[in-house]
Chains A and B, each alone.
Chain A
Amino acid sequence: MRTIIFAAGLLVSAGVPVMNVSGMDLAKIDRAIGKEPAYKGKPKYCLLVIGPEAKTRIWLVKDDNNLYVDRNGDGDLTQSADRAKFNSPYSRWESGDVGGPDGKLRYKVSLQTYEKAASGVQLSIDEGDKKSYIAGDPDGDPLIFAERPSEAPIVHIGGHLEINLSYYVQGKVSRSLVLRVRVGTAGLGQGAFAGLVLRDATPVADVQFPSDKPGAPLLMTTKSLKNR
């Protein structure tokens, strides 16, 4: 049986472009870390870049049960303030304030793991009370940290916005194809699309289906995507 469900939310499509529409080539960003702490386990890396030109660069390193966040973006992860706190009730790591590109904006970064997503994670970035971004979707395409900084995924927030659509399969027996829509900025690597949480807007989908009758007009339907 063919089923389609529409939901507005988060998903990362396969083949996210390396260069986003604004011409920001994320692959050219230098992915080297200045100073790293002594890790307990095998560290995994992700780079968060902020602003239209991605000038602010915040390294995130997941090591054993620790998350390091380079809060001031100086490339030095050895400062004690760079270790994020683990919030047990929510099973997530939460950073303190992270500096923005203008020196004024402040972000908070949290990272959550999901059993169903194996080593994949979901990254949340809050810009004060105004905006929230999410990268990584445990259902469809989680954010995967890399084993080396040079291969780290890059999550870009505050960059060129675009509409992204992709799908995933829901259910193990009665499978449904779930189409998901999000607005955000393309990143580099699996799960790196930074989706903006749309609080005051509802996407609308106009859908044209082919008819099963030869020569018949397309079947049109419109749906407000209210499910988040």
Chain B
Amino acid sequence: MGVPKEIGAGVVKVTIRLPDWKEAKLAPTAFEVDLATEMRKIKTATPWKERPR
């Protein structure tokens, strides 16, 4: 998706809706993602394939 170029550090709020789903009514669900933190985690994370089981 097109991410605005002028975004700053901080929390991104994502709200998911299902406007055309007839089968069930689910309320919009919101999530907050601290992008900088998440990207840092990803860069230092051990890929799951390599995790001990």
Interchain CB contact under 8 A, A162 and B26: yes
Among B10, B16, B53, chain A packs the most CB atoms within 10 A around the CB of B16
Contact of A223 among B1, B11, B31 (CB under 8 A): B1
Query: B7 near A212 (CB under 8 angstroms)?
Result: yes
CB-defined contacts of A209 to chain B, threshold 8 Å: 3-4, 7-8, 12
Q: How far is the CB of B7 from chain A (nearest CB, A)?
A: 4
Q: Which residues of B contact A179 (CB under 8 A)?
A: 14, 33
Q: Please state if A204 and B16 are interface contacts (CB–CB under 8 Å).
A: yes
Does A203 sit within 8 A of B, measured CB to CB? Answer: yes
Is A105 among interface residues, defined by CB-CB distance under 8 A?
no
Most interface-central of B20, B26, B48 (chain A CB within 10 A): B48
Cα A96 to Cα B53 with chains together (Å): 31
Contact with A along B1-23 (1 / 0, CB 8 A): 11110111111111111111111
| A197-222 near B? 1/0 per residue, CB < 8 Å | 01011111111111111000011010
Say yes or no: is B29 at the interface (Cβ < 8 Å to chain A): yes
Q: Which residues of A contact B4 (CB under 8 A)?
A: 209, 219, 221
Interface residue count for B (Cβ, 8 Å)? 35
Is A79 part of the contact surface with B, judged by Cβ < 8 Å? no
Please, which residue of chain A has its CB at the minimum distance from the CB of B50?
Answer: A118
Evaluate contact between B14 and A165: CB separation under 8 angstroms.
yes
Central interface residue in A120, A141, A165, A207, by most chain B CB within 10 Å: A207
Alpha-carbon distance between A212 and B14 when the two chains are bound, in angstroms: 18
CA distance A95 to B1 in the complex (A): 39
B7 touches A177 (CB 8 A): no
List B contacts of A206 (CB < 8 A).
Answer: 14-15, 17
Nearest 10 A/B pairs, CB to CB = A210-B10, A201-B21, A212-B8, A163-B29, A209-B7, A208-B13, A206-B15, A219-B4, A210-B8, A165-B31
A4-B1, A5-B1, A212-B7 known; 5 other A-B pairs, CB under 8 Å? A163-B26, A203-B16, A205-B16, A209-B4, A210-B8
CB-defined A-B contacts under 8 Å, sample of 9: A141-B48, A165-B29, A177-B38, A206-B17, A207-B1, A207-B15, A208-B13, A209-B7, A211-B6
